[in-house]
Every structure is written in C-alpha cells, then in structure tokens.
Structure 1
Amino acid sequence: MTFHSGEIAVQTQAGVRDEAQRLCTVVSNIIKPAAQEFLGSQNLAVAGTVDVNGRVWASLLTGQSGFVQVLNEQTVQIDANLIPDVVLKQNLYSNSQIGLLVIDLANRRRLRLNGKAEIQPEGKIIVQIQQAFFNCPKYIQIRHIEKGVIEALGKPEIFTTEALNETINTLITTADTFFIASSHPDFGADASHRGGYPGFIQVVNSNKLVFPDYTGNNMFQTFGNLVVNPHAGLLFIDFEHGHTLQLTGKAEVIWNANKLSTFAGAQRLVEFDVEQVLETRNASLLRWRFGEYSPVNPR
C-alpha cells in the first residue's frame, strides 16, 4: 500500500508520518483467513458510494449472518435484495467505487474492504477487493442484536429534504455513533466509523454540523480523502427502531486550536455542510439493544 497526497498531507500536519508509514503493512489486497472467518458471522455493514453528481453517500446494509459472502480471497458477494437504500444501487450503476465497513458492535471489531463493485442481474453485489484491513476497537459502543431478521413492521418510507429539522437534530445530537463515507477520484471510496458520548456532534444551524476527530490509527484515509475531495456522506442509525438518516454534503477539516478547545479530546474538527437529507423509516429488519459505551470515549 502507498498513501496518496491527501493522506500524506494530513499525516504530516498531525506529526505521525513515520508511524503511518509503518502501518502500511496492515493493509492487504486479499481477504486473509481471519477476515474471512469474521465476515461469515456478520449482520451489519456500511457502504460508501459516489453518485452521478460526485456527491458521496453512506448507506446501511444488513442481513442474515454471512450476507457478505467471501467467494475467493479477492472477491465478496453482498446479498442486497433486502436493502431499501435507493441511492446505493443507483450510484453503483454509474460509479463502481465502493468502500465497505463491516462492523461487529457486540465485540467491537471492524473490517474495511475497499474496491470496485458490480451489480448482478438478480440484485446481488460483487465486490473486487483492492484493500482489506481490520481497524482498532476504539470508540465503538457495544450493542447486541435484539432480534434476528424479523418480519418488517412496515414498508420502507423515504423522505427527502435539503435541510435539518427539529426531529433530525434530536437524532444527531443524541447519537453516540455515526458513519462517514469519503472518496478519492483515483484511490476510490471509503467508509469509516465514528463514536463518542451523546452530544459529541453539534448542530450549528439547519445546514451545518461540527464533530471532533479523536486519536485513531494515524493513517487518515478519511481525512486524506477530504483534503483532496470535500464531498462526504454521513449515516446515522436509529438502532432501536431500524430507521436511518443519510446526509450528503461537503466537509472541511479544522485544525484551529481555539475551536478544538470546546470539544473534549478533539485532535481536529470537521465542519460538515449539508446539501441533501434522506430519512428512511424501516430501513432495516434488525434491531439493536445498547450495551455499554467505549471506555476510551473522551469526556
């Protein structure tokens, strides 16, 4: 693995360039046995994709255990027939870039799989892997699946707007977890996890959010992408009821020390300007029960 110019710029500014370079060895272009075993029992993934206008979206994927199936060491198949996300498939028809984050909330484990995707006639998604690597367990809140795949309580309903409202604000400001998707024009799409105590994301106004970046793995795939391409997508999940909130817009990395001081543990901030909002009711047949907060969440 080699880092692109945006990643190198952020690593350099953060003063972790040498450490990041040493971490290159954790990134593989194959799905190693440990990752294959991990995928066989997972129910939850997040996909980062790019639409025809260059906007980036983060989408929820859920299914029965092993719905992300390993076909060989460089190929996975996603059974996406139950996924109501209208954006995901539309994006992949026009742009094959995909970043996958497969996450086990109960055991605080996460695997990133980035590559190129193709939708099959029967609706399944085949992904050719270019990058595969586990991430550390930091900032993952433990959640347990309350039920297996259940009968839907109602058909998915999708609502679109261009600004935040009071209901959306409440979901955002009480969230302890969200996901962020980013993209580089040459190196592809990526999806990543963010966590903290409720309130770690602030709503500035009806079209702007701000949230902190805590100490992580120092490779800065997300921030490196944002330096080159500010388009990003955020995904919030209502774990108790199976609803989702998707935001697409533009993100700016903030290093200003005075602004950082208002967020406990923040190394950097991200200001996110919202361009479009998708609310999906009944987006997943799965429900999760809260377990406990990550012990490393900054207070």
Structure 2
Amino acid sequence: MSAESAHTTWHPGEETMHRLLRVVHGDNPTIPGLPVSYGAWMAESPLLALGTVDGHDRVWTTVLGGAAGVVRPVAAGVLGVRARSREPLMGFDPVLEALFAGQDLRDGGIARHPGGGKLVGGLAIDLETRSRVKISGRVLGGALAATDPRAGVQLAVAVEETLGNCPKYLNRKSIRSHDSSPTLVSDRLPLVPDAIDLIGRSDLFALSSRHGTVSMDTNVRGGAPGFVRILTNSEAEGVTLVYPEYSGNRLFQTLGNLQADPAVGVTFPDVETGAVLYLSGRADVVVGADAAALLPHSKLAVRVHVEAARFVRDGLPFRGTLLDPSPYNPPVHRLAHEIDGPPACSLGTTDPDGKPLAVATATLLRRSTITPTISRYTFRLGPETSTAPSRAAFAELKPWRAGQHVTLDFSAHLDRGWSHMRDHDPRSLNDDHIRSFTISSRPGGRSAVLDGAEFDITVREQGPVTAFLGRWRPGRSVDVAVLGFGDGDEIEFGTDPAGEDVVVVAAGVGITPLMAQARSASAAASGRRLKLFWSVRADDLPLAIDVLGALHEVAAVTDVFVTRTADAEPEPGIAELRELGARVHTRRIEPADVRSAGTAGRRRFHVCAPPGLTRSVLEWVGGEHVRCATFTY
C-alpha cells in the first residue's frame, strides 16, 4: 500500500468496526501531511496529548503544555513541540521517557531517531473553545535542557496525517501554566486509592492506539465526572476499566486500531490538582448485547485491561478551571453490578444490537394533572406480540410488588436515529429513551391477571420522556414497550405492636413508594408506628393534598415541610393540609425532627429523597437502620 492510499482508505480494523456497527463510508477524511491552516491553529493551542510506544512495546499517552506555543510549525510538514520539565524524566512521564530512552539525561541530551523517526500520535487541544486537531507522524529528534526549566523538552515531529475533531463531549476549561514538582506515588497495580479517586472524578482522559508501524491515533474522551467505571481493581482480578463510546463521527479510527491491535495507553489528567495517572494495557471493544450486559444503556463500550501504571502527584505543567460542562454529556452509565437489585428486564432478553426486548406493552389510558409539573399517568398492560420471545416472556411475567419500578422504552416514539451534531437537543444523541418509574398504584396481588391490569406512575416533567407524556391528549394512541418490573423501596410494616417504629423521610415525588403501599401504611399509621417527614416545594402542595387526602390515617402522623414560601404569607393549600391532620412547617427538615421520631434503637428509617437530603439523614441517625431508595436503575 502506498503512503498516499494509506491516508484515504480504511485499514482492516476500521472496516471491521464499520461492519459491526453497520456504517457505510466513502474515503477516509484524514488529510495527508499538515495543512497550513491547521498548523496556525495548533500554534494557539495550550495543550498537546502525545502517545508513543516504549521499549517494552507498551503504548503510553501524556498531556503536555499549559500555554499557547506548546506546538507550532517550524518547517513544511514539521511541528516543534516545547514542554516544560523541572525534574528528570525517568520514572515520571512514560512518553517523554520513551522518546529520550538511552540518553544521559543528567547532563541534558539530544535524542535522534534514525530510519524515519519514532512513531507518535498527537492531539492539539484548546479546552476553552472545545476544539482539537489530531496528528500522526514521527519524532525526528529532540533535546532536553538540563539547566533551564523554561526550555524544558523540545521535539521535532514530522506530520504524516491530520484530522480535525468535533467538540461534543469536552467540558470547557481555562488552562494556565504551572511549575510542577512531580512525585511518583505509585507505579504498581492494583491502583492506589488516590488513583481510584482521580478516575471517579475525571471528566476527560487521553488515549493512544496504533495501526502497526504505519500510524498512531491519539485522542480524548470526555463525559460527566465518573463516566469511566472501575470494573476490577485487585491482585486476584487485575485492574479493568470500562467506558461508554458515545455517538461521534462514526469513523471509528481509535476503535478500528483496537480491533486490530489491543495495545492502548490511557492517561487521566487532573487539571485542578495537577495529579496524573498514566496507564498502559490492552483493550477490547464491546458491542451490542455484550455492551448492554456490561454497561446498561450502552450499545458500544471499551474495556481496558491495565498492565502497567504510574500515579504522579503534581505531575502536570498546567492547571485548569472548569468554565461550563458540555451540553452533550449524557448521565453516567453505571456497570451492571453497580445497579441496585436485579435488572428490570429480569429475563435478560436482548436483540443482537443490545436493545432489550419488550416483555409487555403498556397503553396510556389517562392523565391527571396534579401540579404544573407533576402528573399521574395510568397505563393498561397487555402482551407484546411482535416476537416469539416477547410472547413467551409475557406468559412468565410476575405481578409487580409494592415499591417496585417499571421500566418503559419510549424509543419507538422519540428515537430520531444518528446525527453527528444536534445543538438544538444535544442530550438526545446518546439517549436510549428507556426510563424507570416507581409504580405509585397498589399492586393487584400475587395472583393478579396481568393482561388488562392497570398501573399508575406519578412523575415530574423533567426531560424528553416526561415531556412526551405531558404532550399526550385523550384519544391519541400511545403504546410503550415494557421491559420489566424491578426492585424498589418496599417499606416493611410489621404487625407486632412491640416491634420497631417506621420513619419515612421523603421529598417531592419520592413519596411514590409509600403511595403504592397505602393499605399497609394506613394500618401502620393507625397503630401510631409510622412517622412521615415529607419535604415539598410550595408549588407541589397539591400533590401533598392529593396523597394525604387519600391516606387519612397517614396524614395524622405526617409532618410536611414546605420550602420556598414566606412565613408571613402562607401558601394556598397549607390550611387544607392541616385540616387533613398533617402538621405543616414552612422550613426545611432539621436534624431534631428526624432524631425525635420513634424510639432510638427501635426504629427503621426509609429515605426516598435526593442525594443531599439522603446524606443528611444518614449523618443525623448514624448507626441506626436506614434504607435508602435508589434511583440508579
């Protein structure tokens, strides 16, 4: 293959990815050499991610820079790289170490790479504008200044390929130079706690892969903090990371390289503290049903098996400050074993692309508007007849229990297919339109007939799925795929009068698990063994009236905390709540409220609230039995 054709055709690994994901491409858009316009832009870029291969055939990645000028054109098709370096390279930055291998770095050194140069991949990045340009080429030589930290490392890179990349998942940050003093914390596996913490906070990492000795690809992946998940981290199981591949330009150059050669270098830079985690290992691309089983809600993921690591404190020659997150970043996808309870689709039926198969159909029958943002929707269950597995699954489907959630797939109504950018609705690019809602109506019992059974969900309009429900009008036919019923917060109300007190702390629509257990809750309340603390916004008072009006016994043991209201001017509805028997406070829930409920040491707490209130309750009643409703399903 000629050098020119290598730039315009796809190599076998890329072709494999295109076939797996049913993508049809023309010529490769990678540009031979270094266009003048790209070179000029790169000269203004403050960061350069750089990847190469060390003497042990391991791929590594680093991130250099801190100010404009880290990379700039110095000759036709040649970039000069200048990076600050205050400390000896050996044992810190594995990429620079590999590029200067064999040199006596104590007295400065000049690295020469004969035979065409040493293969590298690079990515110039400007996080403030969310722009980036990829290069692949060869380091012709380099120099290391031993006495002048401002001169640092200098490299000459002959550029063979260039490609501009989209800004979709980069969180916008300002970057500034920093005089680092690196300290090697660990170069062993498994990862130390600080390294694990860094991954859990990271919203960006750089990775490098290779296509034999022809080219290298260095790029970044961005997302919400924590989008990279740690699958294993132990001596027995090794270290394995998993991350989702979001919808992109569908060239699959990195994944194509990994299909043909799994060697990968991954680096997590912490721009706030300067810590940096260098990893090298092997990666496999997980597609379709396998991806969904590993990382639910994902159709494409990468699993990285780490073979070598370096965690360096204060290793970055720059610092950064978050300006604003990318609007394209989807919520974090958690690993299957991180999701509480069994998966909603308990029968495990998926198609080859990883899309869960329906076990039933839910037909929307009624909508009741409770507040301007909260509505109750009633659905009727019926069999899903489109496939034989779905028909069989409905025959085996068990009735839901109080407190369980139902998982519904709205993709037939909302999925608009692939597009590269979607600035008017960025989050929809990676939205599978699958949602789980706690069932707020009482179950029919273990022997209930599901064909024709009705259930309610009480939800706040928030996001495209609930907005779609909010646009529904009577007479319009809407059938939604049901993927199954999953575990939720089933509150146990004992019958022994000498048993434990039950204290429920809820916020807003977090009351739904209790609504589904109305009969048991009322019985417990009549025995004065239940206490409910419920925080609601002033706008949501009609929800409190609706729920407590149907649960008279529960109202008598309920304290409602109304937020966003003025004490001197009570909101309409507060008097009605008091007439129902509830105590009403125009303030937030406080520690003394919760601690005074029931008998200490003989009570169980159930918390159905956002993370902030949940953490507070855990602190207030530390050491006692607390069960927290999860919304990670």
TM-score (norm 2): 0.44
Cα displacement string for residues 123-162 of structure 1 (whole angstroms, at most 9, x for unaligned residues): 52111111011101110110112xx42444xx21123112
Alignment-derived partner of residue 22 in structure 2: 15
Matches within 5 A, 1:94-173: 96-122=118-144, 123-145=153-175, 148-152=176-180, 155-158=181-184, 159-173=186-200
Write the letter of the residue equivalent to 2:183: E
SS at match of 1:8: helix
Distance 1:90 1:63 in 2: 20
Q: Is the 8 A contact 1:92 1:118 kept in 2?
A: no
| Alignment counterpart, residue 61 of structure 2, candidates 58, 63, 69 | 58
Q: Is the 8 A contact 2:240 2:306 kept in 1?
A: yes
* Structure 1 position 241, deviation (Å): 1.4
State yes or no: 1:90 paired with 2:91: no
- Alpha-carbon RMSD across the aligned residues, in angstroms, is 2.0
| Alignment counterpart, residue 219 of structure 2, candidates 192, 195, 199 | 192
Q: Is the 8 A contact 1:30 1:73 kept in 2?
A: no
Q: Is the 8 A contact 2:228 2:243 kept in 1?
A: yes
Cα displacement string for residues 184-203 of structure 1 (whole angstroms, at most 9, x for unaligned residues): 21322211110111221111
Cα displacement string for residues 16-64 of structure 1 (whole angstroms, at most 9, x for unaligned residues): 132xx25x23x21232232122112121111111112211101111143
SS at match of 1:167: helix
Cα displacement string for residues 41-93 of structure 1 (whole angstroms, at most 9, x for unaligned residues): 12111111111221110111114311212013411011135275542233235
Q: Is the 8 A contact 2:64 2:70 kept in 1?
A: no
SS at match of 2:187: strand
Distance 1:234 1:219 in 2: 20
* Structure 1 position 285, deviation (Å): 2.9
State yes or no: 1:235 paired with 2:235: no
Distance 1:165 1:225 in 2: 30
State yes or no: 1:266 paired with 2:298: yes
| Alignment counterpart, residue 29 of structure 1, candidates 27, 32, 56 | 32
* Structure 1 position 121, deviation (Å): 4.0
Alignment-derived partner of residue 11 in structure 2: 4
The alpha-carbon distance between structure 1 residues 267 and 28, as it changes in their structure 2 partners (threshold 3 A), is same
Q: Is the 8 A contact 2:288 2:299 kept in 1?
A: no
Q: Is the 8 A contact 1:163 1:275 kept in 2?
A: no
Distance 2:270 2:258 in 1: 26
Cα displacement string for residues 167-210 of structure 1 (whole angstroms, at most 9, x for unaligned residues): 21111122111111111213222111101112211111111111
Q: Is the 8 A contact 1:46 1:101 kept in 2?
A: yes
Alignment-derived partner of residue 276 in structure 2: 244
SS at match of 1:17: coil
Alignment-derived partner of residue 212 in structure 1: 244
Deviates more, 1:246-255 or 1:285-294: 285-294
Write the letter of the residue equivalent to 1:100: G
Q: Is the 8 A contact 1:93 1:119 kept in 2?
A: no
| Alignment counterpart, residue 78 of structure 1, candidates 72, 78, 81 | 81
The alpha-carbon distance between structure 1 residues 49 and 258, as it changes in their structure 2 partners (threshold 3 A), is closer
Q: Is the 8 A contact 2:34 2:160 kept in 1?
A: no
Write the letter of the residue equivalent to 2:326: S
More strand by share: 1
Please identify the structure whose Cα radius of gyration is greater: 2
Task: Pick 1 or 2: higher relative contact order, CA cutoff 8 A, min separation 6.
Answer: 1
Cα displacement string for residues 99-122 of structure 1 (whole angstroms, at most 9, x for unaligned residues): 001111010100001111123345
Write the letter of the residue equivalent to 1:130: E
Gaps of 5+ in 2: 1-6, 102-116, 145-152, 234-238, 332-633
Q: Is the 8 A contact 2:281 2:304 kept in 1?
A: yes
SS at match of 1:38: helix
Write the letter of the residue equivalent to 1:135: N
Alignment-derived partner of residue 311 in structure 2: 279
Distance 1:35 1:264 in 2: 39
Distance 2:12 2:179 in 1: 47
Matches within 5 A, 1:36-47: 36-47=39-50
Q: Is the 8 A contact 2:69 2:82 kept in 1?
A: no
Write the letter of the residue equivalent to 1:290: L
The alpha-carbon distance between structure 1 residues 63 and 262, as it changes in their structure 2 partners (threshold 3 A), is same
Write the letter of the residue equivalent to 2:155: I
Distance 1:213 1:128 in 2: 30
Write the letter of the residue equivalent to 2:95: L
Write the letter of the residue equivalent to 1:138: K
Distance 2:124 2:60 in 1: 16
Report how many residues are paired. 291
